Amino acid sequence: MNGTRMLADLDELATYGVDPGGGLSRLGFTAEEDSARRFLREAAGRAGLGSTVDQAGNLFLHPGKALPDDPVVLMGSHVDTVRRGGRFDGAYGVVAALEVLRTLTEHDLPTRHAPVVVAFANEEGARFPCPFWGSLAVTGQLDAAASTVDRAGHSIREPLARAGGDLDAIGDAVWPPGAVGAYLELHIEQGPVLESRGVPIGVVTGIVGRAIVEFDVRGRQNHAGTTPMDQRRDALVAAAKLVLRIEALSAERNLCAVSTVGELGVEPGQANVVPGRARLTAEIRDLDAARLEVAEAVLREEAARIARETGVGIECVTTMRSAPVRTAPPLRAAIEAAAADLALPAMAMPSGAGHDAQLIAAVAPVGMIFVPSRGGISHAPEEYTAPTHLVAGANVLLHAALRA
């Protein structure tokens, strides 16, 4: 594998979508992303490889002129970014896969299935708010009608067509059963675990599921000066108790992996008024569906208890739920063996972030490899992974593809 060539590709890719404010804003289905994809197709062409775009705008790079009919070993990720994101999230997995494909073809190395590279369309959903657009489309899970307009009201039709897709024929992007024999996604960790343990390779055991519960706390708005403390029904005080119970769910009680209150609103929001209403969200994640279910049930019990104790009303609605996904044991073993071949320390770990692999898992065995993120920072201009780790991860991808 030519690490220098891969790093040069990554540098080149980082020139598309440079944001004057810092970082990369290479949103899915924009001119910036189009240029990045053009660069990838040209790089593939220079290596004697072909490229294909499906109806959903997913870009495939492959040996020969057309995508093979037989099952493939698919490797890749995405090249779109969030606003002012980093240069490694997604892009690294695609350029590494391209380097692996070039290496396999140049040296005529045998893989069980024909190797193909993918850059999935609109993984982040930063412009058109449908994250995982491309991987949802190929697995037949995309509700295109519900997600075709950006925040400014522009249809996805034209941008999708410019990328090589076709909104009217998007159903044709669905893969036939068995089309993908294995999917391997190499990605930066986007968290601090590998760096803090000093381990260069993460073997992903699965991608956590999550639930978002919205709470509407109703107390009684009243005068902050004349209402005695024992006669208040303060919505914010009740909400504050709930915030701490939500934190304790994971931090103290270990009922789920992480639990977060990311939104909290108070009404009317004045210094001299006892708050009458508070709204907040709880987001919980875990790799185990049963644990997630229990944590959600406990959360609702806690809310009911706080409502009784404080005399407020608390309504809760679960607005989002996604199931955890496990990576395929044979691919996990292939990645572990690949790391061992290369004498690279590796550790098993879950992914707390979502990835295309979690959608692809519905139709094909998936495996994921992580490399360290400096300071655990991602979705930010400061995102960074050392070149030695980038090359090591790509080598593991190559060796895993040979074993997949």
Q: Contact residues for Zn ion (CB under 5 A)?
A: 89-90
Distance, in Å, from the CA atom of 362 to the CA atom of 292, rounded to the nearest integer, reads: 20
Nearer to Zn ion, 93 or 276 (CB): 93
Task: Report the nearest approach of Zn ion to the CB of residue 204 (Å).
Answer: 13
Single out the residue of 215, 180, 219 nearest to residue 317, CA to CA: 215
Report the SS3 class of residue 149: strand
| Residue 285 DSSP symbol | E
Task: Report the nearest approach of Zn ion to the CB of residue 213 (Å).
Answer: 26
Burial track 237-271 (b if 16+ CB lie within 10 A, e otherwise): bbbbbbbebbbebbeeeebbbebbbeebebbeeee
Nearer to Zn ion, 241 or 389 (CB): 389
Nearer to Zn ion, 57 or 90 (CB): 90
Nearer to Zn ion, 90 or 191 (CB): 90
Do 148 and 128 touch, CB atoms closer than 8 A? Answer: yes
**Chain centroid offset of residue 166 CA:** 24
Task: Report the nearest approach of Zn ion to the CB of residue 353 (Å).
Answer: 7
Supply 279's token pair. 């709204």
Task: Report the nearest approach of Zn ion to the CB of residue 92 (Å).
Answer: 9
Nearer to Zn ion, 75 or 295 (CB): 75
Report the SS3 class of residue 165: coil
Nearer to Zn ion, 89 or 99 (CB): 89
SS (H, E, C) 23-82: CECCCCCCHHHHHHHHHHHHHHHHCCEEEEECCCCCEEEEEECCCCCCCEEEEEEECCCC
Nearer to Zn ion, 18 or 353 (CB): 353
Task: Report the nearest approach of Zn ion to the CB of residue 93 (Å).
Answer: 7
Single out the residue of 213, 192, 191, 174 nearest to residue 359, CA to CA: 174
Q: What is the largest CA-CA distance in the chain?
A: 83
Task: Report the nearest approach of Zn ion to the CB of residue 155 (Å).
Answer: 25
Nearer to Zn ion, 89 or 189 (CB): 89
Distance, in Å, from the CA atom of 309 to the CA atom of 145, rounded to the nearest integer, reads: 45
The CA dihedral of 237, 239, 243, 244, to the nearest 10 degrees, is 40
CB atoms near residue 177 (< 10 Å): 8
Task: Report the nearest approach of Zn ion to the CB of residue 99 (Å).
Answer: 18
| Residue 327 DSSP symbol | P
Chain position whose Cβ is nearest to Zn ion: 90
Task: Report the nearest approach of Zn ion to the CB of residue 32 (Å).
Answer: 16
Nearer to Zn ion, 183 or 215 (CB): 183
Task: Report the nearest approach of Zn ion to the CB of residue 349 (Å).
Answer: 16
